[in-house]
Amino acid sequence: MGDSAYVKTEGYGGLSMRVLFARRSPGSYAALLRDAGPAVDATISLGPGHPASGAVWLAHKPH
């Protein structure tokens, strides 16, 4: 999965909105976390059988 982004301008029922949706690879998010400085406690990768590909990170701000 590569990085991509798009702006959604219409919501459910045709309601006007402006929301940026950004998809990044798990590696891109890992780099963002590393650069921001939190301590990563665990990484959970969502496997190929999961309806959404990606990962979840548990992290905390170091003291």
Report the alpha-carbon distance of residue 57 to residue 33 in Å, rounded. 9
Domain limits at 14? 4-60
Task: Indicate the number of domains in the chain.
Answer: 1
d(CA 62, CA 15): 42
Residue 60's pLDDT band (boundaries 50, 70, 90)?
A: confident
One-letter amino acid identity for 1? M
Q: What is the pLDDT of residues 9-38, one digit of tens each?
A: 998 899 999 988 877 777 788 788 888 888
With beta carbons less than 8 A apart as the criterion, state whether 43 and 27 touch. Answer: no
Indicate the average pLDDT of the chain: 82
Its sign, for the CA torsion 18, 28, 38, 60, is: positive
